[in-house]
Amino acid sequence: MERRNERSCAPRVLILVFRARHRQSARYCLKAELKVKIMDTKVSSRWTRRNFVASATTTLAFSGFANYSFATQEPAMNQRHSEAGNGPLHVIVDTDPGVDDALALLLAMRSPELKIEAITAVAGNVPLELTLPNALRMVEIAGRTEIPVAAGAQAPLVRRLVTAAYAHGENGLGGAVFPEPKIKAVAEPAAELIRNIVRKYPGEVTLLTIGPLTNVAAALNSDPELAGIMRSLVMMGGSLSGGNITPAAEFNVYVDPEAARIVFQSGIPVTMVGLDVTRKTSLTDEHVRVLEAGQNAVSQAAGKIARNAIQHNREQGFLVGPNMHDSLAVAAFLDPSFLKWKEYYVDVETAGELTAGETLGYSPSAGDLRRRPEMEKQAALNMPIRGSAPTLASTRTSPVVRDKFVPNAKVAVDVDSSRFFELLIGRLSGNK
Ligand code: BDR
Ligand code: CA
């Protein structure tokens, strides 16, 4: 991965910043992996691309790959918040509401740890003509009309839009009807707004993406330096254990695989919250009852959407759900301690006739590649990332697409669902 853009720093400051971040990331990984206590609590814990890479290297150097447990991973949100002590974290939520997006937006807007700089709408679950007003509606319901909402892409980068009205209802909210929003979207298109905000707070902004990644890819395409000054990107998207719209692909990545590939290859530290964990977040009647009993506008709206979505799911013949995919991604950013994490090099299939949108997680300790622990470090450093074998027509001589393993994403591999629902329902209902 390339260098982070920190040209504005004086060289000496830069070195100090690097060292501080490196120390912190080392502390983070060691703590997670080796449970070593290092007393360095004053160092900022910002998870930048550089310390992501540094931490990956540190992790490799000491004990193979991160495989964090519920018990050892700290709530990064609380950790960052209390250590930094400088107030909420800058985030942009990119979304395609969407039943679970709607609840995720409400969760984000009910989370004081977050400073939501913008909400950007994208076509996905339903067309942009619906996702945009749905996002505006959620902002009004939450009473957060100071948050700018921007219209984004109407279609994926190079494909026709495929929607998921079968899961979210024709209006995207499971059939739950709300009045037309009174507030309007800002004039700036989503990609431009993302770019301007990230440039305004270099190294500070995290993108929480809970829809197809078209807007983000468009922003990255428009500004080659942008990836280097983003703090991180936490996505609901992808799966290392099969898809939901095809056997291979998860919906958000399926809709715009080219965009997802741009994101994974951008060098932004990516946190992937995919179907591997979001499948374990099925909403129940009991959750809905708690929301319906909540005496505030957010709880009432969430209850109404959830009630309709459960009904819609039943009518469609689904046995469970709906799953709270997107809320889990937001919650994982708020408190990663109730998930287990593992580092991978994730790439996206864009060429397949049947498999476009599949996310592949490369790891020296995955599947048949498992090795004895003492050999993992060496294996990791030497492990090439292989693509499909070349065809006879190809001029390539080798199927190796990267000659070394370097992780580009932290992937959630397990979740404590009851802790997640405690957070989600607690915050939406106003009970916590
Ligand atoms: C994702 O796809 C959408 O249908 C949901 O809103 C979620 O973002 C799950 O695959
Ligand atoms: Ca979504």
Q: Is 25 in the pocket of ligand 1 (CB under 6 A)?
A: no
Q: For 292-316, give the DSSP string.
A: HH--SHHHHHHHHHHHHHHHHHHHT
CA of 125 to the centre of ligand 2 (A): 7
Whether the Cβ atoms of residue 345 and residue 406 lie closer than 8 Å to each other: yes
Q: Catalytic residue, from 22, 81, 168, 325: name it.
A: 325
- Structure confidence at residue 395 (pLDDT): 77
Does residue 67 lie within any of the structural domains?
Answer: yes
Looking from the CA of 222 toward its CB, the CA atoms found within 13 Å total: 17
CA of 157 to the centre of ligand 1 (A): 18
CA of 51 to the centre of ligand 2 (A): 29
Q: Is 326 in the pocket of ligand 1 (CB under 6 A)?
A: yes
Name residue, tokens 């709270």: 324
Whether the Cβ atoms of residue 115 and residue 90 lie closer than 8 Å to each other: yes
Q: Is 236 in the pocket of ligand 1 (CB under 6 A)?
A: yes
Whether the Cβ atoms of residue 52 and residue 206 lie closer than 8 Å to each other: no
Nearest atom within ligand 1 for CA of residue 323: 9
Does residue 380 lie within any of the structural domains?
Answer: no
CA of 427 to the centre of ligand 2 (A): 20
Q: Is 256 in the pocket of ligand 1 (CB under 6 A)?
A: no
Residues in CB range of 164: below 8 A, 6 or more apart? 124, 125, 126, 245, 251
Does residue 308 lie within any of the structural domains?
Answer: yes
Give the C-alpha separation, 6 to 348, whole Å.
29
What ranges in 248-346 are assigned the alpha helix state H? 251-255, 257-264, 275-278, 285-293, 297-315, 325-334
Q: Please, which residues bridge with residue 32 across strands?
A: none
Nearest atom within ligand 1 for CA of residue 125: 4
CA of 207 to the centre of ligand 2 (A): 14
Plot region of 367 (φ>0 → left; ψ -120 to 50 → alpha; else → beta): left
Of 106, 125, 171, 328, the one to substitute when testing ligand 1's pocket (max ligand atoms within 8 A of C-beta) is 125
- Structure confidence at residue 365 (pLDDT): 72
Does residue 359 lie within any of the structural domains?
Answer: yes
Q: Whose CA is nearest to atom 2 of ligand 1?
A: 251
Name residue, tokens 């994730």: 346
Does residue 379 lie within any of the structural domains?
Answer: no
Plot region of 61 (φ>0 → left; ψ -120 to 50 → alpha; else → beta): alpha
- Structure confidence at residue 381 (pLDDT): 67
Nearest atom within ligand 1 for CA of residue 100: 6
Does residue 39 lie within any of the structural domains?
Answer: no
Residues in CB range of 378: below 8 A, 6 or more apart? none
Residues in CB range of 348: below 8 A, 6 or more apart? 238, 253, 257, 260, 261, 264, 357, 358, 359, 360
Whether the Cβ atoms of residue 150 and residue 121 lie closer than 8 Å to each other: yes
Range of the domain at 159: 46-366+403-432
Q: pLDDT digit of tens for each residue in the chain (432 aa)?
A: 333 333 333 333 333 333 333 333 332 222 332 222 222 222 233 333 434 333 333 332 222 223 444 433 333 333 333 333 456 899 999 999 999 999 999 999 999 999 999 999 999 999 999 999 999 999 999 999 999 999 999 999 999 999 999 889 899 999 999 999 999 999 999 999 999 999 999 999 999 999 999 999 999 999 999 999 999 999 999 999 999 999 999 999 999 999 999 999 999 999 999 999 999 999 999 999 999 999 999 999 999 999 999 999 888 888 777 999 999 999 999 999 999 999 999 999 999 999 999 999 998 776 666 667 777 666 666 777 888 888 888 776 666 777 778 899 999 999 999 999 999 999 999 976
CA of 96 to the centre of ligand 2 (A): 5
Q: Which one-letter amino acid corresponds to residue 271? A: T
- Cα 21 to Cα 33, 131, 309: the distances in Å are 18, 38, 43
Is the peptide bond prior to 364 cis by the omega test (within 30 degrees of 0)?
A: no
Whether the Cβ atoms of residue 198 and residue 230 lie closer than 8 Å to each other: yes
CATH of the domain at 291: 3.90.245.10
Q: Provide φ and ψ at 178, rounded to 5°.
A: -130, 155
Q: Is 279 in the pocket of ligand 1 (CB under 6 A)?
A: no
Asked if 90 is an active-site residue, the reply is no
CA of 97 to the centre of ligand 2 (A): 6
Residue 106, token pair as written in the block: 């409400």
- Structure confidence at residue 180 (pLDDT): 97
Does residue 27 lie within any of the structural domains?
Answer: no
- Structure confidence at residue 241 (pLDDT): 97
Q: Please state the domain count of the chain.
A: 1
Plot region of 161 (φ>0 → left; ψ -120 to 50 → alpha; else → beta): beta
Q: Is 250 in the pocket of ligand 1 (CB under 6 A)?
A: yes
Q: Please, which residues bridge with residue 323 across strands?
A: 282
- Structure confidence at residue 387 (pLDDT): 83
Would you state the torsion angle of the CA atoms of residues 220, 213, 326, 78, taken in this order, to the nearest 10 degrees? -10
Identify which ligand lies nearest to the alpha carbon of 276.
Answer: 1
Identify which ligand lies nearest to the alpha carbon of 94.
Answer: 2
Does residue 133 lie within any of the structural domains?
Answer: yes
Of 100, 239, 245, the one to substitute when testing ligand 1's pocket (max ligand atoms within 8 A of C-beta) is 100
Q: Is 252 in the pocket of ligand 1 (CB under 6 A)?
A: yes
Q: Is 100 in the pocket of ligand 1 (CB under 6 A)?
A: yes
Of 130, 251, 283, the one to substitute when testing ligand 1's pocket (max ligand atoms within 8 A of C-beta) is 251
Nearest atom within ligand 1 for CA of residue 96: 6
